Amino acid sequence: MRDPLARLDDISEAIANIERHAPVEESQFAQDEFAQTWILRQLQNIGEAVNHLPPEWLAEYPDIPWGEIVGMRNRIVHGYFGIRLDVIWSAATIGLPALKRAVESLRAAHTPPA
């Protein structure tokens, strides 16, 4: 089983990947199958990592919709043809900054002193 701090790294890496490769406009995203696939994969990775974080860590940030993040992962994996691109775009552009801050705070709070 992977260490929870490694799971935070997974989330941070996926967020950075989205930030680096997401189109600037939603209309570009809607037309770019590569970007759609890339972002779906990164959101899937985020959901998988969140699913393995300790519940007590998640409870420290009740404003983050942890259950919805895992639910989105499940929808991506099991219900591909029912995925709404507008919801994916919102998750990738609106939801990620708060998640990024929470992950950074969790890392700071749970990294053992050197």
The whole-model pTM stands at 0.93
Q: Are 8 and 107 in contact (CB under 8 A)?
A: yes
Is pLDDT of 36 > 70? yes
In a domain, 114, yes or no: no
* φ, ψ at 110 (rounded to 5°): -115, 5
Tell me how many degrees the CA angle 90-95-100 measures, rounded to the nearest 5.
145
In a domain, 103, yes or no: yes
Model confidence at 80, in pLDDT bands (50, 70, 90)? low
pLDDT over 70, % of the chain = 99
The domain of 70 spans 4-108
In a domain, 113, yes or no: no
Q: Are 51 and 71 in contact (CB under 8 A)?
A: no
Structural domain count of the chain? 1
Secondary element (H or E) of residue 27: helix 26-31
In a domain, 94, yes or no: yes
Question: Catalytic positions, please?
Answer: 73, 78
Is pLDDT of 55 > 80? yes
- What's the rounded Cα separation, in Å, for the pair 35 and 88? 11
